[in-house]
Structure 1
């Protein structure tokens, strides 16, 4: 595997605005999209609530007859359709990406199988629950958003239109208080200015209030209309299983290639040399002895290659003595000095121990090949139920999981066992790579 060092980073230059975020917010497209979402939620929630409650109540009421089942299934299917529409609306107006929930699972085809799948689907009932819960929240958020928006802009623009009251209303301005003897109007420059200032505060606060309201909508859509945690976990496990299978197949191909190109080819040549030595043994013993001596050297080389191959599959020192000794052996073969510190009171299961060993081994190999470092360090310790690995070096830096295939492949391997790989490698160094694995004891 190859980890790319010394690669430049594409730095994202932040947008420069003349106005701070608080002053820009009322005019940004995001605010208007979120406000539009809140305004649309009220009529949509009324329609969805009416449909959901009517159809489900009717279906439950008709369960004493056969008609109840298809009516209930149709009602839940409609709720699923509304859920798809709401996911699209949240995606377009709130920039909320929610994956589609798991599809209906039908063992057989036909209307009866479809009804059973709809009724047994958790997505159907979560969509119904969304239709029930959204209405009261939509009413609340609509009232709050509209009032803050209308009051803010009305007061802010009051200096532009207060003249309407004395000209067409017969009074000095907006009336704050009035009875039979007293009338208080906003009609002098000071009061008008204060009114506009209060309106400005309302106007500046409205985008953040609307954003806070839509956070609840995001939670509702994500929690009730997206895939369930169980379904998400199943998809992750299926993906991880595919990664494990692909990794195992790649390792088998590598072992086969190493055997075919290395030890097997050397043993075939050795057998031929021994055959020639056997033929020359009677007529030229000295030549035969030289050939046997050469074959003896080839045997030693083949044995060393087999030992290296076995070490690449699973080193014996790891099985016998654990991570401390195994990582020290790997560090001794690195081209730069490596300090190894392993602080483990007990050993994890062999699978996790092997992944930790090969993770450190591959990172040290990449340090030798690409980092141009003069020093490296390996730390291994345990934090609660996690095994932590950290490899650091003082090389040129620039390591990135999105560049090349080395770190990306290592990330996939760790992810297959619920592990995490974090890379901190600014250009110019130093590089600090932290791996986190689940702790599982023997």
Structure 2
């Protein structure tokens, strides 16, 4: 119940916000053998508390950093998009009376502003306020597993985590189509 008000929730959201630009930066770095793995491990350690042992240097390490960048970037983008969208739903529904249209007669819960605000505030605002931290946690669990597997020394379950990450990114992309058409 308190999950939206915990520091860990907002650290996860900060990770999701930073993971996209850092991932974009790390893709070319990984391709030229730069410190992409170290940067990604540092980001995960700082915001998610993930400890991934440095796997050392070598050609395989470079290839794994490239693979992490290629697989992680779409997942990071989808995680940020979904989380950002959910937090926006929270704000616009809790702040329903501040909407510029001002006429609640045709809104759900109308014809009064109190009824419309109750329906939107509870149905869209409070429910998404409680759900969003758990959605973000799910995304960051997969991202942490990818960091440990691709950029750390622990490869157990990497194929499963990669499959889940790719499937999750595809499902989110497909589910975003109707939302995009509403814009």
TM-score of the pair, normalised by structure 2: 0.75
Tell me which of 107, 117, 141 is aligned to 2:79: 141
> By percentage of residues, which structure has more helix?
2
- Name the CA distance, whole Å, in 1 between partners of 2:53 and 2:11: 21
| C-alpha distance after superposition, 1:93-127 (max 9, x if no partner) | 001111111x33xxxxxxxxxxxxx4xx3211111
8 Å contact 1:153–1:200 — kept in the other structure?
A: no
Partner of 1:33: 11
The corresponding residue for 2:116 is 191
2:9, 2:133 within 8 Å by CA — same for their partners in 1?
yes
Structure holding more strand per residue: 1
User: How do residues 347-386 of structure 1 correspond to structure 2 at under 5 angstroms?
Assistant: none
Q: Which runs of 5+ in 1 are unaligned?
A: 1-21, 57-74, 105-117, 174-182, 231-442
- Per the TM alignment, residue 158 of structure 1 is displaced from its structure 2 partner at its CA by 2.2
* 1:358-437 alignment, distance < 5 Å: none
CA RMSD of aligned residues (A): 2.2
* Contact 1:123–1:227 (8 Å) recurs in 2: no
Q: Kindly name which structure, 1 or 2, has the bigger radius of gyration based on alpha carbons.
A: 1
In 1: Cα distance, 2:155 partner to 2:83 partner: 32
Q: CA deviation at 1:46?
A: 2.1
Aligned counterparts of 1:127 and 1:94: Cα–Cα separation in 2? 19
Aligned partner of 2:103 in structure 1 is 172
Structure 1 stretches of 4+ with a deviation exceeding 6 A read none
Corresponding residue SS for 2:107: strand
Seen in structure 2, the aligned counterparts of structure 1 residues 32 and 152 have a Cα distance that, compared at 3 Å, is same
Unaligned runs of 5+ in 2: 157-183
RCO comparison, higher one (Cα < 8 Å, 6+): 2
TM-score, scaled to structure 1:
0.32
1:48 aligned to 2:26?
A: yes
Q: CA deviation at 1:214?
A: 0.5
DSSP 3-state at the match of 2:54: coil
* Structure 1 segment 40-119 matched on structure 2, within 5 A: 40-49=18-27, 51=28, 56=31, 75=32, 77-78=33-34, 81-101=35-55, 103-104=56-57, 118=58
